[in-house]
Structure 1
Amino acid sequence: MIELPDYRPQVPASRLRVGLIGAGAIAGSAHLPAYAAWGIRVTAVASRTPGPAQELATRFGVETVYDTVTELLRDPEIEVVDLATGPTGRLDLIEAAVVNGKHVLAQKPLSIEEAELPRLFDILGVARERGLRVAVNQNARWAPAWRLATLLIRDGRIGDVVGVTHLHDKPLPPLAGTAFDEMPHMLLSDYLVHWIDITRCWLEGSQVTSVTAQDSRVPGQPEAARNPWHAALQLSLSTGASASLRIVGNAQTNAGGCPFWIHGTEGTIRGSVLLGSDFVELDRGETRTRFALEGQWFTDGFAGAMGELLSAIEDDREPENSAAHVAASVRIGLAATASAQANGSPVHPVDLDLTPATVRRNAA
């Protein structure tokens, strides 16, 4: 019998007051429902337009609605800021929160511009000097199947990771006519951020030596859909390990999900996430163990990301999803976009180590 690691979100009985910035669809469908379910205290909300913020506050019992983001950031009773906004101006908001003495959970992608990274590291340096924690809402790290796979790898259940493979076997969300469709190479620069990030976690302890990515339009893709619907990404690592991520297009299936395989020197983990496909199976030696899972990525993953930040604040440590740690995922995504822009030519990042200590040194 294999003991099941505790893969559920770890949310402390914290009385820290959280202020939410942003009142869009994701705030109402994921952030606030997750926090309500797991007892995370949100006491204020602000957005660029007061109407949606007021509606959210009424629906979820949030005490205070501020007319401006600045007012929320200046509230001395707010200790943690949850940035549920788009990527434009994200570093400005992180910096403003840090200047006002707030811990931060920032929505992903943390950055979509290589030129922003030096400024990000400067902000993180200021936060560190002030004893503040800056984390990223990489909520998929706490999707039950992916979280359990992470813990099994950490426990050495499959030895050293040899390869990671992801297949997107489900329809794409509506993209044509949305703001996402205006982003160059959107599947690589935004949509696949969670897949890139979890792959980075599973390959911890190695260095990325090559990133190759392609995207293209697919048969039947409507003209109104500006971004390609196919994307593929390959990583080569200093250890000889590799990773592959593939979106074939708007898959037409009623029984899909997002299957993944993690092959190691001593065993294999296989599983799936989304659309009710969630499972994890450990295949080692003569034994195959399939684990029953509790919970869902949406919305438990959001509780996991915030819960890890709150736990880190209470324990006076860096959160697993610290901005410094996620910076390596950002660099992989930027390299993938650059490769696609160059028609699939490999990009060879310099010093892209997937180790927490190295990432923190680079952020210093």
Structure 2
Amino acid sequence: MSPGGDGVAVPDTRPRFPADRGGVAVLGAGTIAQSAHLPAYEQHGVGVTGVWSRSSRTTDGLLERFPRVRRVYGSAEELLADPAVRFVDLATGPEDRLAWISAVVDAGKHVLAQKPLTLSADDLDRLPEVLAAADRAGVRVAVNHNGRWAPPWRAATLLVRDGAVGDVVGVTHVHDKPLPPLAGTPFDDVPHMLLTDYLLHWVDITRSWLLDGGAGPVVSVQASDSRVPGQPAQARNPWSATLSMTAESGATATLRIPGSAVSSRSGCPFWVHGTTGTLRGSVLLDSDRLDLDDGTSSTSIPLQGAWFVDGFAAAMGELMCAVEEDRSPENSAADAALSVRLVLAARDSADRGGVPVEVAA
């Protein structure tokens, strides 16, 4: 944080790295890795020792498109055995996630796992055993919750931590934008996909603000989803979803997707209300902004970068800094698991017709 012209501390939202930002290998070089992970590493000078994908077709031409990538490994085993690899960006799907994490840990490498960490309650119950093995091996396990470093959200996080709005009493998010293509994609096969997968970034950042803002952990979740007019018949998942959370202090949060919004100025506006002020902002689709209102005036907070792709670089940078500084990363797997428990509670609530589901604090 640095002082601004209006006396408001200006948060630094840029990705942070240690001096040595090399030794990364990407295990699972599919669409998200090539559209976000690798461009982020190129842009921020992260050294990539190589990549591996199950299909050789996936990596055709990859070395030409990404000059910082040194090689394509012939197998996952070859990648894990490479002594030049210090960090494995595990960009596979959530299936078999814990098995992959265990394999990376056994190889003595630090892990950045793609989100969601898992969508299995059984996996969450097994996670402490996997993380205990990581502790014994002296490696860190983090999750690619890149949304935490979307500049408006990151700035809001740092201001909340600094006490800029006092105690957080409420958080609200609204999706005022079209949904991405879902019909016919694997995402449409995930039950209650909007609640369990798509909204995970929003659930995760909201849980963080409630906790950092003194509201305590989320203790109750209520959710519903429904089909909407204009939704094509082949789209299996509902296109409307509402998820509400109540924290230990009584503070509340609501996340709302009304459907695939038609808008010439799309974005995802949000509000963080506190006892002494309010943060108002938006993320995505060139809508990035953040204002701090102290009840007498509103100050625009300067922002740097963009969620895509700076957030992806920052998630890896946080893991690297945590290793360098011998601490737990903000995006640790143990912390990410708490957000997964909330979306699973949302799924259960929707299955039960929207009744509140209690969450163990």
Matched residue of 2:88: which SS?
strand
CA distance in 1, matches of 2:62, 2:142: 23
Give 1:66 shift. Answer: 1.2
Please list the CA deviations of residues 86-134 of structure 1 after superposition, one character each: whole Å capped at 9, or x if unmatched: 1111111111000110100000000101111121111111101221010
| Structure 1 runs (4+) greater than 3 angstroms displaced | none
Please list the CA deviations of residues 40-81 of structure 1 after superposition, one character each: whole Å capped at 9, or x if unmatched: 111110011122224323311211211211221122221100
Asked if the contact 1:54–1:65 (Cα under 8 Å) also holds between the matched residues in 2, the reply is no
CA distance in 2, matches of 1:350, 1:138: 22
Task: Specify which of 176, 183, 189 is matched with residue 182 of structure 1.
Answer: 189
Which structure 2 residues correspond to residues 208-287 of structure 1 after superposition, within 5 A?
A: 208-287=218-297
CA distance in 2, matches of 1:341, 1:223: 21
CA distance in 2, matches of 1:274, 1:207: 27
What residue is the counterpart of 1:197 in the other structure? 204
Give 1:296 shift. Answer: 0.8
Matched residue of 1:254: which SS?
coil
1:326 aligned partner, one-letter code: A
CA distance in 2, matches of 1:272, 1:166: 9
Which structure 2 residues correspond to residues 46-195 of structure 1 after superposition, within 5 A?
A: 46-61=52-67, 62-195=69-202
Asked if the contact 1:11–1:303 (Cα under 8 Å) also holds between the matched residues in 2, the reply is no
Task: Specify which of 13, 16, 24 is matched with residue 7 of structure 1.
Answer: 13
For these two proteins, the number of residue pairs brought into alignment is 351
1:207 and 2:217 correspond: yes
CA distance in 2, matches of 1:59, 1:209: 46
Give 1:255 shift. Answer: 0.5
What residue is the counterpart of 1:355 in the other structure? none
Report the CA distance shift for 1:15/1:170 in structure 2 as closer, same or farther (over 3 A).
closer
CA distance in 2, matches of 1:83, 1:315: 22
1:239 aligned partner, one-letter code: S
CA distance in 2, matches of 1:3, 1:81: 35
Deviates more, 1:279-288 or 1:4-13: 4-13
TM (norm. structure 1) is 0.94
Give 1:342 shift. Answer: 1.1
2:237 aligned partner, one-letter code: N
What residue is the counterpart of 2:325 in the other structure? 315
Unaligned stretches of 5+ residues in structure 2: 1-5
Q: CA RMSD in A?
A: 1.1
What residue is the counterpart of 2:27 in the other structure? 21
Give 1:350 shift. Answer: 1.8
Asked if the contact 1:167–1:247 (Cα under 8 Å) also holds between the matched residues in 2, the reply is yes
Asked if the contact 2:106–2:137 (Cα under 8 Å) also holds between the matched residues in 1, the reply is no
What residue is the counterpart of 2:3 in the other structure? none
CA distance in 1, matches of 2:303, 2:114: 26
Matched residue of 1:67: which SS?
coil
Task: Specify which of 281, 302, 327 is matched with residue 312 of structure 2.
Answer: 302
CA distance in 2, matches of 1:188, 1:71: 37
What residue is the counterpart of 1:289 in the other structure? 299
Give 1:207 shift. Answer: 2.6
Matched residue of 1:39: which SS?
coil
What residue is the counterpart of 2:36 in the other structure? 30
Give 1:209 shift. Answer: 2.0
Asked if the contact 2:13–2:303 (Cα under 8 Å) also holds between the matched residues in 1, the reply is no
1:219 aligned partner, one-letter code: P
Asked if the contact 2:117–2:340 (Cα under 8 Å) also holds between the matched residues in 1, the reply is yes
Give 1:249 shift. Answer: 0.5
Give 1:277 shift. Answer: 0.7
Asked if the contact 1:43–1:63 (Cα under 8 Å) also holds between the matched residues in 2, the reply is yes
CA distance in 1, matches of 2:302, 2:110: 35
CA distance in 2, matches of 1:183, 1:289: 41
CA distance in 1, matches of 2:151, 2:160: 14
CA distance in 1, matches of 2:319, 2:354: 37
Asked if the contact 2:207–2:218 (Cα under 8 Å) also holds between the matched residues in 1, the reply is no
What residue is the counterpart of 1:356 in the other structure? none
CA distance in 1, matches of 2:343, 2:21: 36
What residue is the counterpart of 2:356 in the other structure? 346
CA distance in 2, matches of 1:254, 1:25: 27
